[in-house]
């Protein structure tokens, strides 16, 4: 039974509403999105949508989360490569998977509501952050980054550039920009930056965990 004791919710309807929401966001943008349109396209009613998602911001958050996938933690035994790939994965999620022009107004509307803001962070931000933090911790454990490096802060520094471009609508972060960003940060936190560059230039088959471990 549903939490309210009524008819059990049909998961197919929920999936249809999320899919319809994504389609409409791509077509009409955030300001043009309306629950009525989503209901018609999903073959349900506005009331049924409201029972699942009392406010439209929560619906939009869940719809965006449905097209994001938790990125795998890069693990190539190359700190420079792993961090650059982490940046690229985050940029790809924001620039390719999410409808354009939606994130900024959504963040603005959720900012004043602590519950909505937390839901947005949990659904859309934290999965990518967690994967990137693991990559940073591995780099610290290998001895490539200083032992006092704060993984969360490092990820914040990377993510701030990616999110700024996504929120302000400036040029997306391509591979070359991701490499420049990674190198800029590594020059400040790496134990031996030049050595990390040498490892990144090796074929993947020639990278080994023991080659980056200091005695």
pTM of the model: 0.77
Contact yes or no for 63/22 (Cβ under 8 A)? yes
Nearest C-alpha neighbor of 162 from the set 171, 153, 154: 171
Domain residue extents for the chain? 11-54, 67-187
Note the pLDDT tens digit of each residue in 101-156. Answer: 899 999 999 999 999 999 999 999 888 888 899 999 999 999 999 999 999 999 99
Burial class (CB in 10 A: 0-12, 13-18, 19+), 144: buried
Predicted confidence (pLDDT) at residue 210 exceeds the cutoff of 60: no
Question: What integer pLDDT is reported at residue 170 of this predicted model?
Answer: 74
Which CATH number among 3.90.1150.10, 3.40.630.10, 1.10.357.10, 2.40.40.20 corresponds to the domain 67-187?
Answer: 1.10.357.10
Contact yes or no for 162/94 (Cβ under 8 A)? yes
**CATH code for residues 11-54:** 1.10.10.60
Contact yes or no for 201/138 (Cβ under 8 A)? no
């Amino acid at each position: 039974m549903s939490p309210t004791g009524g008819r059990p919710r049909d998961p197919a309807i929920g999936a249809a509403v999320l899919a319809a929401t994504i389609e409409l966001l791509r077509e009409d943008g955030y300001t043009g999105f309306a629950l009525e349109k989503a209901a018609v396209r999903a073959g349900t009613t506005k009331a049924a949508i409201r029972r699942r998602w009392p406010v439209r911001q929560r619906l939009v958050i869940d719809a965006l989360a449905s097209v994001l996938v938790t990125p795998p933690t890069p693990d190539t035994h190359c700190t420079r490569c792993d961090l650059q790939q982490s940046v690229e994965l985050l940029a790809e999620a924001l620039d390719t998977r999410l409808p354009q022009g939606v994130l900024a107004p959504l963040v603005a509307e959720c900012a004043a509501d602590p519950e909505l803001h937390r839901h947005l962070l949990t659904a859309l931000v934290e999965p990518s952050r967690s994967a990137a933090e693991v990559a940073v911790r591995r780099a610290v454990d290998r001895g490539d980054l200083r032992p006092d490096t704060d993984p969360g802060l490092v990820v914040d520094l990377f993510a701030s550039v990616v999110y700024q471009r996504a929120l302000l609508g400036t040029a997306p972060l391509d591979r070359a920009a991701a490499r420049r960003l990674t190198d800029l940060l590594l020059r400040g936190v790496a134990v031996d930056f030049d050595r990390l560059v040498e490892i990144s230039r090796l074929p993947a088959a020639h990278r080994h965990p023991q080659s980056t471990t200091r005695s």
